[in-house]
């Protein structure tokens, strides 16, 4: 046994003695100390560096032989577990993190990582229990606390999320990041004044916290005064160009100047924010176009004929798809106001199933989605459908018969959705191209939407979306209901009646009064859907038209749609 291994063994023996005496907090400190010692080994240090730079195969080649000779090396187990997470092989990641916990039962990082891996397979109960174990020993463990708070929001447990935020703030009132998080959950729950106070309170604690300025701007209703504007400009000048806060600040400044009707300065700040964010991303517009072409070629009439009878035809599901910022949140709010329909959230489970299908055959180097679907028998499709329903059920808060899954980017997954749930209702929330794309350009998304930070990328993405939806209309005629945003605004009752008729649901006046619905809304449109339908945003893009030629060029004839 080498010197490091001997030292680690001694530390773990001491930790075990403390655990036996009920001293779990002290044992947790020693568990962390033991892993820190393991991490000093040259092989572990090299594997960690490779992992940090995304060289997963090289990192795995180092830690696997190490684990054969030292199967209780927790640092190596956690590295291999993280590699499995990044590859989407979540059951394997869970196994590895459980092995690490068996060696170091109070090691907080292993428990937190296991919780995250469990969340990826929709096991929220066990994952949250693990986080609570960590927080019971260390209430200020930021990774565990932030993971718990974010997860409670993701599963729609907003009351629990609000209570957890308030409990954490009572213990740590001087933490700006907690106030930002609290401001966001208050926004979701329609607590506008509390949200504003939280973001303002953040800035009083840390005037350099740019995300609080964006939080205020993203409420859509806050009017920045001259002092606010100067504070943002001063902060933008003080921060390095590479600081992540520059993106948030410039989006907020774009909103401030837009409200002041100084559209040239507004566009300059929106363009700066998008330019910085686009440089951080690896989005490939051509790869997206190729992916759409692959999906069109695969999901043809012959495929749907061959899979007829597969899946769960009786599941009462409503999928709302389309471009972000196209009015999908409004459609969801209208339908969630119906007595027979429950709105949930932007559920990740259809995209996760596309990953699961490939990850389940991770040793097959040629496994590729969607082509891999052709090799799945009916019972495998049935299992995937059941997996989706189990996962989605954890977001249900009512006993209403119909459930909404509103994830705009699922438009490219319609073929899979129809395979899993041939009786599902699918709504394409469509908005005029220029208005929709510009609304994306001035929105800073919490994650994803890599296409949205370039006018030309966005125009191509919109074209790809329309091209795929046109294909769906040909091979699955009548399966998708297209709800045009501008028509909904012009004549809400007529469009809502038509939508409900497609869903085979009776008309209810509550759908017209959707703004009175107090349900939590997490998307950027949260404040808009709490007001009656209006035309405020319909032609906003025209104020910027002279700077939008790259978007028009990318859209081509769709720019007039």
Nearest to 30 by CA among 6, 44, 10, 48: 10
Q: Say how far apart CA 493 and CA 560 lie, in whole Å.
A: 26
Q: Say how far apart CA 158 and CA 179 lie, in whole Å.
A: 16
Angle separating helix axes 210-218 and 226-238, nearest 10 degrees? 140
CA 171 to mean position of chain CA atoms: 28
- The domain ranges of the chain are 1-138, 285-560
Q: What is the pLDDT of residue 506?
A: 97
- Quick one: fold of 1-138? 1.25.40
Grouping H, G, I as helix, E, B as strand and the rest as coil, residue 338 is coil
Q: Say how far apart CA 454 and CA 458 lie, in whole Å.
A: 6
Provide the residue count of the chain. 561
Q: Say how far apart CA 424 and CA 427 lie, in whole Å.
A: 10
Q: What is the pLDDT of residue 363?
A: 58
DSSP 509-544: GGGTTGGG------STTTTGGGS----TTTTGGGGG
Residues whose CB falls within 8 Å of the CB of residue 109, separated by 6 or more in sequence, listed in order: 32, 35, 78, 143
Query: How do strand 341-343 and strand 317-322 relate by DSSP bridges?
Result: unpaired
Q: What is the pLDDT of residue 408?
A: 95
HEC string of 9-26? HHHHHHHHHHHHCCCHHH
436 contacts 465 by C-beta, under 8 angstroms: no
Residues whose CB falls within 8 Å of the CB of residue 46, separated by 6 or more in sequence, listed in order: 62
**Which two structure tokens, joined as six digits, stand for 142?**
């930021």
Q: Say if residue 370 is preceded by a cis peptide, omega within 30 of 0.
A: yes
The sign of the CA dihedral 210, 212, 214, 217 is negative
Compute the 3-state secondary structure of the chain and give helix, strand, coil in percent, each to the nearest 5: 65, 5, 30
Query: How do strand 402-406 and strand 425-430 relate by DSSP bridges?
Result: unpaired
**Which two structure tokens, joined as six digits, stand for 66?**
């190490």
**Which two structure tokens, joined as six digits, stand for 431?**
């908005």
Only one residue has tokens 């001259």, namely 226
Q: Say how far apart CA 372 and CA 527 lie, in whole Å.
A: 41
Give the residue ranges of the chain where pLDDT is below 50. none
Whether the pTM exceeds 0.95: the reply is no
- Quick one: fold of 285-560? Rossmann fold (3.40.50)
∠ CA 116-117-118, rounded to 5°: 90
Q: What is the pLDDT of residue 532?
A: 65
């Amino acid at each position: 046994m080498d010197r490091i291994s001997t030292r680690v063994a001694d530390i773990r023996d001491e930790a075990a003695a403390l655990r036996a005496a009920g001293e779990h907090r002290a044992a947790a400190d020693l568990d962390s100390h033991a892993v820190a010692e393991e991490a000093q080994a040259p092989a572990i240090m090299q594997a960690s560096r490779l992992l940090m730079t995304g060289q997963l195969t090289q990192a795995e080649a180092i830690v696997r032989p190490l684990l054969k000779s030292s199967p209780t090396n927790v640092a190596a187990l956690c590295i291999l577990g993280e590699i499995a997470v990044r590859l989407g092989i979540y059951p394997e990641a869970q196994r590895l993190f459980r092995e690490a916990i068996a060696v170091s039962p109070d090691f907080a990082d292993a428990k937190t990582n296991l919780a995250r891996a469990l969340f990826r397979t929709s096991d929220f109960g066990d994952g949250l229990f693990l986080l609570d174990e960590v927080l019971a020993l260390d209430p200020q463990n930021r990774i565990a606390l932030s993971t718990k708070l974010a997860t409670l929001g993701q599963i729609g447990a907003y009351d629990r999320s609000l209570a957890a935020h308030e409990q954490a703030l009572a213990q740590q009132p001087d933490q700006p990041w907690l106030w930002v998080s609290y401001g966001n959950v208050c926004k979701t729950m329609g607590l506008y004044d509390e949200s504003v106070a939280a973001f303002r309170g953040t800035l009083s604690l840390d005037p350099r916290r740019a995300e609080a300025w964006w939080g205020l701007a993203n409420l859509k209703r806050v009017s920045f005064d001259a002092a606010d504007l100067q504070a943002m400009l001063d902060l933008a000048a003080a921060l390095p160009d590479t600081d992540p806060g520059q993106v948030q600040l410039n989006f907020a400044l774009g909103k401030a100047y837009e409200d002041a009707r100084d559209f040239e300065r507004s566009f300059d700040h929106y363009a700066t924010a998008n330019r910085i964010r686009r440089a951080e991303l690896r989005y490939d517009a051509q790869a997206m176009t190729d992916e759409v072409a692959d999906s069109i070629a695969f999901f043809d009439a012959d495929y749907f004929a061959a899979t007829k009878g597969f899946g769960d035809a009786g599941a009462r599901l409503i999928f709302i798809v389309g471009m972000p910022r196209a009015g999908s949140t409004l459609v969801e709010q209208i339908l969630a106001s119906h007595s027979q329909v429950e709105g949930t959230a932007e559920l990740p489970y259809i995209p996760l199933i596309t990953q699961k299908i490939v990850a389940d055959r991770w040793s097959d180097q040629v496994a590729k989605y969607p082509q891999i679907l052709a090799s799945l028998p009916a019972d495998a499709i049935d299992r995937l459908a059941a997996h989706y329903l189990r996962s989605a059920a954890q977001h249900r808060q009512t006993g209403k018969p119909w459930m909404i899954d509103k994830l705009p980017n699922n438009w490219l997954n319609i073929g899979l959705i129809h395979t899993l749930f041939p009786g599902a209702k699918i709504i394409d929330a469509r908005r005029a191209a220029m208005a929709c794309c510009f609304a994306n350009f001035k929105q800073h998304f919490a994650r994803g939407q890599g296409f949205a930070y370039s006018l030309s990328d966005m125009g191509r993405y919109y074209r790809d979306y329309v091209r795929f939806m046109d294909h769906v209309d040909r091979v699955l005629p009548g399966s998708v209901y297209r709800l045009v945003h501008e028509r909904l605004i012009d004549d809400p009752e007529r469009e809502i009646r038509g939508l409900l008729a497609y869903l085979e649901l009776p008309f209810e006046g509550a759908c017209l009064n959707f703004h009175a619905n107090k349900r939590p809304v997490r998307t950027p449109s949260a404040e808009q859907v709490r007001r009656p339908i209006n035309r405020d945003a319909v032609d906003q893009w025209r104020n910027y038209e002279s700077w939008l030629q790259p978007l028009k060029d990318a859209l081509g004839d769709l720019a007039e749609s």
